[in-house]
Structure 1
Amino acid sequence: MSEYGTKRLIGEFSGAFADLGTFLPIAIAVLTLHLLDPSGLFVGFGLFALAVALIYRRPIPVQPMKAVAAIVIADNLTAGTIAATGLILGATVLLLTVTGLVTFIGRKIPHTVLSGIQLGVGLILAWAGAKLIIQDPLTGLAAMLLLLLLLPTRLKPFAAILVIVAASIWSIASLPDPLPEITIGLHLPHWVSIDWSDAWIATESILLPQLALTLTNAMIVTAVIAGRLFADQERTITPSRLGMSTGILNLLLAPLGAFPMCHGAGGLVVQHRFGARTGIAPAIFGATCLAIGLLLGPNALQLLLLIPLAAVGALLVYAGLDLAKSRELTQGSWEEMAVIIITGLVCLLLNVALGLLVGIVAEYLRRRWGKQPSLNI
């Protein structure tokens, strides 16, 4: 393999594990509370990521659904309710996609609002990373320093994976007790039984909050950012296709004990920023999750706890700020910049779905009373 090919492959490895800021905290919380079988959770992520790698051939991320995680963890819900949530959300997203509603919404969103959402997603990433760093400032700041030292050098393609490996070694060396014994064996996922009460809780408490985030951040915004990062994929990575993969894969994997999953704009940015360019990155992540789920099973949590979240936070801060300082903020009229900034701040302070709605209203007012045409990005 040529030197260029080797660097590209290492970049794929680096990018594959750069987007752990959402995955690790949610996986650790769910497994610590014994809400799901570890095999089902990891095999679900593994199969979803491998399917995404084959479908898109680009680093389209696979992430746990955040609103689902917040409600499931806060209310200590059962595996049956989690499976019902995956099935109902999968069916709903698939229905909205097949009817063309997702494509219609995506085409009607103004470019200024999309740029504002990109700003907001970047700020959300950076803030999420900062919160992880605060939990362990020494490790987080050391990881950030190492990252900044690596980026200007020839080791840039290795940056994310070197930071994670170095932080994990530091974490292991700092343990007061010996490493816990981890046994390897075959652990298959179990079929999860669902009753009507599970379906009712999923529909009443979880469906709408998560659906708003999935339609905006996981489908529409992810497609927009993918189009900007990979210009040749603008017609293949669309909200409609992302909706199809999200819906179908959740329907297939939820009964096996998988956590509800979707795509995500922030994850795409982080993976791309640290070297991921093809479907090799999600394939690496998927194969790793599959191996952990099948071979480690109940021991998986012990492995996750060795990765310092503060180091992952450093990666998120850098990638988030890199996304937030896009060129659109320095172009166009002040009215257009106002729409972008308002949209971004609402995304950060509230959520992406509300940011989308507020941004559309702000853009409508700008067009009605402003003198400048819409920014064509």
Structure 2
Amino acid sequence: MALFTSSFKHNVQTLKDNPLGEIAGSLGDLGTLLPLMTALAAGGSISLTSTLIFSGVFNICSGAFFGVPIVVQPMKAIASIALARQLSLKETMAAGIGVGIVVMLLSVIGMIKKAADMIPLPIVKGIQVGAGLSLCLNAGSMLSNLNLNQSKWDDNLFWAIGAFSMLYGFSRQSKFPFALLAFLLGGIFAAVDVATSGGSLPAFGFWWPFTLTIPTADEFATGFGTAGIGQISLTILNSVIAVRYLSEDLMPTRPAPSVTALGISVGLMNLTGCWFGAMPVCHGSGGLAAQHRFGARSGASVMLLGLVKVGAGLAFGESLTGLLQRFPKSLLGIMVFAAGIELASVAENLNSTARDLLSPTSAALGTERSRSAVYASLRVLTEREKRERFLNMMVTAAMMLASKNTSVGFLAGVFFWALLRLQDRMEDYGDARASFAPLNEASALLGR
């Protein structure tokens, strides 16, 4: 209750102080949400109406409870497999329900918390860097089909260059509402494109999302077996553990959500919405980085987005699919790129002010005031420690990108870390033997 009260006060005060930033920040994650949600809806793998309404409600609840811009975004592994294998709606729902059950159980019994306490911070940051660079690669694939001579006036490389110039030309103006301007411009372009090409504009009406979807045993086996199992590790590492650490890095003056609370939240969302055809969702470090990059500093931002989603779902529902499909990739791609850079930039403090370098007392103070106040309590690293921590992070990120699998990157980072610890043990053993060498020599002389 105390957390909810604190979050409510923070949300209200932040919205009063910086309303434009909260509004613009709320749109930061659209570059991830719109393409996947639209493609899944067009392929019949999800219900767009249920997705908008349920994910909107989840946005409102997470913003109100956590008090920081914790996003609600698609489960990417499930989405990619559902699109590639053309999974049915019930199979996709089964995947989300299965992941929700597993993550919920692991959170309740405390396994995720134990994992978060045990995983070295360079590996966590490696996962964040890998996820950020992966977003940049996704942005590149969005922009790869655009060119300067394209006849499509509303979606070409000129708009991408213009958006990039505006994004970083105002990079020192933290309150510049880039995401809001890009969204409004993209919405206008999409509407004009639909109207001029003879498509159907969204139709106003009342859309009801509560149509129960119950997968059969075969559908559950297919959906969870092909798409759900691969999502579990990604959700735990990037949507729970990495989100907690990223929240601490980006907003050190706010209490970071616990991994247990984040895991339970992911479980509840999927065990609620997926029964009605809503897209399997999770929290994500990339989405948090994106919303923060575009101005969000409280839960008010995601609550505003949630209200818009609920309203759009109830009023327009499935008729929005055609409009969303026409949203310019030139603008979406730059938004995704910016989110990736923001997420990857958390590596900056690995060897300077990272949480594992703070004393326990300093770490506690860091949740209440700026970490600049506790720099004196930082552990000083040797040059070798700095180099090895950086390498551990980069090995994790690089293997994650090379394999296109978060679990492989994580295991590579753990293996690298274990090899370093083994070398430490061998060096300690060698030093111990060297320290006893004079005693052994003395014993040998006495023996003569």
TM-score of the pair, normalised by structure 1: 0.90
Alignment-derived partner of residue 434 in structure 2: none
Alignment-derived partner of residue 344 in structure 1: 397
Q: Which of 212, 231, 234 pairs up with 2:252?
A: 231
Contact residue 30 and residue 36 of structure 1 kept, 8 A: yes
Alignment-derived partner of residue 367 in structure 1: 421
Alignment-derived partner of residue 61 in structure 2: 51
Q: How far, CA to CA, are the matches of 2:162 and 2:199 in structure 1?
A: 23
Residue identity matched to 1:249: M
Residue identity matched to 1:177: S
Contact residue 133 and residue 139 of structure 1 kept, 8 A: no
Cα shift at 1:28? 1.4
Cα shift at 1:177? 3.0
Q: How far, CA to CA, are the matches of 2:193 and 2:73 in structure 1?
A: 30
Cα shift at 1:141? 2.1
Task: Specify whether residues 323 and 197 from structure 1 end up closer, same or farther in structure 2 by C-alpha distance, changes over 3 A only.
Answer: closer
- Equivalent runs, 1:205-216 vs 2, <5 Å: 205-216=226-237
1:243 aligns with 2:263: yes
Alignment-derived partner of residue 192 in structure 1: 213
Task: Specify whether residues 291 and 341 from structure 1 end up closer, same or farther in structure 2 by C-alpha distance, changes over 3 A only.
Answer: same
Aligned Cα RMSD in Å? 2.4
Larger Rg: 2
Residue identity matched to 2:136: A
Cα shift at 1:266? 0.7
Task: Specify whether residues 289 and 221 from structure 1 end up closer, same or farther in structure 2 by C-alpha distance, changes over 3 A only.
Answer: same
Highest relative contact order (Cα 8 Å, sep 6+), 1 or 2?
1
Q: How far, CA to CA, are the matches of 1:370 and 1:138 in structure 2?
A: 54
Contact residue 80 and residue 198 of structure 1 kept, 8 A: yes
Q: How far, CA to CA, are the matches of 2:288 and 2:258 in structure 1?
A: 14
Cα shift at 1:159? 1.6
Q: Decide which moves more: 179-188 or 23-32.
A: 179-188
Alignment-derived partner of residue 202 in structure 1: 223
1:261 aligns with 2:271: no
Gaps of 5+ in 1: none
Q: Decide which moves more: 51-60 or 144-153.
A: 144-153
Cα shift at 1:338? 1.3
Q: How far, CA to CA, are the matches of 1:77 and 1:119 in structure 2?
A: 30
| Count of aligned residue pairs for this structure pair | 369
Q: How far, CA to CA, are the matches of 1:324 and 1:88 in structure 2?
A: 30
Contact residue 127 and residue 242 of structure 2 kept, 8 A: yes
Gaps of 5+ in 2: 1-13, 147-156, 353-384, 429-448
Percentage of pairs with the same residue = 27
- Equivalent runs, 1:1-377 vs 2, <5 Å: 8-136=18-146, 137-153=157-173, 156-173=175-192, 176-177=196-197, 180-189=200-209, 190-234=211-255, 236-325=256-345, 326-328=347-349, 332-350=385-403, 351-369=405-423
Task: Specify whether residues 5 and 50 from structure 1 end up closer, same or farther in structure 2 by C-alpha distance, changes over 3 A only.
Answer: closer
Task: Specify whether residues 174 and 205 from structure 1 end up closer, same or farther in structure 2 by C-alpha distance, changes over 3 A only.
Answer: closer
- Aligned-partner SS, 1:157: coil
Q: How far, CA to CA, are the matches of 2:222 and 2:199 in structure 1?
A: 40
Q: How far, CA to CA, are the matches of 1:168 and 1:203 in structure 2?
A: 35
- Aligned-partner SS, 1:333: helix
Residue identity matched to 2:252: A
Contact residue 290 and residue 342 of structure 2 kept, 8 A: no
Q: Decide which moves more: 28-37 or 287-296.
A: 28-37
Cα shift at 1:251? 0.7
Q: How far, CA to CA, are the matches of 2:414 and 2:200 in structure 1?
A: 53
Task: Specify whether residues 340 and 41 from structure 1 end up closer, same or farther in structure 2 by C-alpha distance, changes over 3 A only.
Answer: same
Residue identity matched to 2:400: C
Cα shift at 1:116? 1.8
Q: How far, CA to CA, are the matches of 1:240 and 1:172 in structure 2?
A: 42
Q: How far, CA to CA, are the matches of 1:275 and 1:60 in structure 2?
A: 13
